[in-house]
Structure 1
Amino acid sequence: MPVDHYENFPVASLLLPARLRQPIEHIYAFARSADDIADEGDASPVERLAGLNDYRRELHLIEQGEPTTIGLFAPLADTIARHQLPIQYFRDLLDAFSQDVGKTRYATYTELKDYSRRSADPVGRLLLCLFNAHREPLLTQSDAICSALQYINFWQDVGIDWAKGRVYLPQEDLDRFGVSESHIAEQRVDDTWRSMMAFQVDRARALMLSGADLPPALPGRVGWELRLIVLGGLRILGRIESVGYDVFRHRPKLGKTDALRMAMQAVNYRHSTR
């Protein structure tokens, strides 16, 4: 059970109230399919961007109260209207996916944060809308969890992203620790690589923990779902450490044993995240 880009978020989980499962499925279908347009198959960059622009036009139709033309947008339009979801969050996701088509390197952590602000944070904010919890400090805590999950996904998938021609590790951090892209190309795990990855893991963990008060602030099953998401992200970080930061040969995953342990930790959540 790896931490994946959109599997970070609850998708019709039995832990969620029944009334929210379908709206979450509609949001997920939009995000997953748009991400696939940007990332999967052998389409050209021009074709990918055109597909994402088709999604933008559908959002515009929803905003204008006009009928949509792509199948998944009709139920999404109903969910947006019923729950008064900000369309800007969907546009932010499309902007991030469009960026993925052409941008393959990030000079600074600030650049990476701006990307995750659009690629990950909107999903958490949309969920808060569904939970009637779209307010501070919950929004800031949600952003921290979502961005942390995004970074965890990047750190466990360094080799996979390299095969796609992408490096999400900030270039300033590579330079700071004396790591070059040849480390990734050669899957070289030496002291400089381990130091750089330890820094990334610590930063992602600190960010996750800064949002860890969100799950207990949400009622019932929703709070329990988010407890497991936070604990799963932290556990992946621990796995990265336990394999000596060799994410090339030992991509961290979670299994059934982890799920049981996380369920036990969720009962003592505040202690488990301190």
Structure 2
Amino acid sequence: MPVDHYENFPVASLLVPARLRRPIEAIYHFARSADDIADEGDAAPAIRLAGLATYRAELDRIAGGEPAATPLFQTLAGAIREYALPLQPFHDLLDAFAQDVVKKRYADYPELLDYCRRSANPVGRLVLHLFERTEPEHLEQSDCICTALQLINFWQDIAIDWRKDRVYIPQSDLPRFQVSEADIAAGRCTPAWTALMAFEIDRTEALMRRGLPLVHALPGRLGWEIRLTVQGGLRILERIRGVRGDIFRHRPTLGPRDWLVAAGRSLRM
């Protein structure tokens, strides 16, 4: 399931074949460090965007067959060459991180999904490339799982994102449930808020379940890695539902017992 630092991206666990841990770690470190540029510290937006531009330039160097300038990109370039990884997913991640610097609200659900298409889905697609499982139905299932994980992170971190002046709940959903941003600011868990969160949870869970067939298509340990990831995400949704959406006072995290539950459910998938 998600790591503490950047909750969408998988880390190469012991369930992943040893030969693929290094390229998966290279992908993760690229994404994590680029996200840090966009989101950590107190740098001005122009500086953040300039930092992301240097990452784009490094990708262009790789595309042109030029040597990478930093250890991070040297390792990444090796993985890209060895496994013939496409460069577009890396560019998509940078586009999403740059968008996070300047865009703080999303008009509707399709607009939010377009952000997830670039901020979360590329990692799943790159992992499928490593395993040479890039059939269209598998890519689509991976997208469903990755987008669902991204949305789960959003619902989990509504209060944290508010302090960064970010609201990922689609703006069109707020009036539909008679909820305002003032309710988020005040941490008000009203019946209207509970209904809104239930709606988002239901929609996210349905999306996750659309991706479930992927776990049966992936080989060996990767299939088990994805099973555990999916069940961990569903467990977070269950925890949010259990506190009636009150993530202001009960930010859900997974402890040892939750992972035991997730592992048991993984065996029955």
TM-score by length of 2: 0.98
**Partner of residue 135, structure 1:** 135
Q: Distance in 2 between matches of 1:15 and 1:2?
A: 15
**Partner of residue 114, structure 1:** 114
Matched residue SS, 1:137: helix
**Partner of residue 100, structure 1:** 100
Shift of 1:5: 7.2
Q: Distance in 1 between matches of 2:261 and 2:197?
A: 25
Shift of 1:160: 0.2
Mapping of residues 191-210 of structure 1, within 5 Å: 191-210=191-210
Q: Distance in 2 between matches of 1:105 and 1:7?
A: 20
Identity among equivalent pairs (%): 62
Asked whether the 8 Å contact 1:10–1:225 carries over to 2, the reply is no
Shift of 1:8: 3.8
Matched residue SS, 1:72: helix
Q: Distance in 2 between matches of 1:102 and 1:244?
A: 32
**Partner of residue 240, structure 1:** 240
Mapping of residues 47-196 of structure 1, within 5 Å: 47-196=47-196
Shift of 1:71: 2.3
Shift of 1:2: 6.7
Q: Distance in 2 between matches of 1:5 and 1:152?
A: 15
Q: Distance in 2 between matches of 1:92 and 1:5?
A: 20
Residue deviations 1:44-100 (CA, integer Å, cap 9, x gap) = 100000000000000000000001112200010010011111100000000000000
Q: Distance in 2 between matches of 1:144 and 1:249?
A: 29
Matched residue SS, 1:127: helix
Unaligned runs of 5+ in 2: none
Which segment drifts farther, 45-54 or 130-139? Answer: 130-139
Shift of 1:7: 3.9
Shift of 1:265: 1.4
Shift of 1:105: 0.3
Asked whether the 8 Å contact 2:7–2:153 carries over to 1, the reply is no
Q: Distance in 2 between matches of 1:201 and 1:125?
A: 24
Asked whether the 8 Å contact 1:4–1:153 carries over to 2, the reply is no
Q: Distance in 1 between matches of 2:14 and 2:52?
A: 31
Asked whether the 8 Å contact 1:5–1:153 carries over to 2, the reply is no
Q: Distance in 1 between matches of 2:2 and 2:227?
A: 17
Shift of 1:9: 3.7
Q: Distance in 1 between matches of 2:2 and 2:184?
A: 20
Asked whether the 8 Å contact 1:52–1:94 carries over to 2, the reply is yes
Q: Distance in 2 between matches of 1:196 and 1:114?
A: 21
Matched residue SS, 1:171: coil
Asked whether the 8 Å contact 1:173–1:196 carries over to 2, the reply is yes
Asked whether the 8 Å contact 2:125–2:142 carries over to 1, the reply is yes
Look up the equivalent residue of 1:48 and give its one-letter code.
R
TM-score by length of 1: 0.96
Q: Distance in 1 between matches of 2:148 and 2:5?
A: 11
C-alpha spacing 1:208/1:264, structure 2 compared with 1 (3 Å): same
Look up the equivalent residue of 1:83 and give its one-letter code.
Y
Q: Distance in 1 between matches of 2:221 and 2:227?
A: 10
Shift of 1:6: 3.6
Q: Distance in 1 between matches of 2:144 and 2:4?
A: 17
Asked whether the 8 Å contact 2:2–2:9 carries over to 1, the reply is no
**Partner of residue 259, structure 2:** 259
Unaligned runs of 5+ in 1: 270-274
C-alpha spacing 1:3/1:82, structure 2 compared with 1 (3 Å): closer
Q: Distance in 2 between matches of 1:104 and 1:126?
A: 27
Shift of 1:267: 1.2
Q: Distance in 1 between matches of 2:170 and 2:188?
A: 18
- The alignment covers a number of residue pairs equal to 269
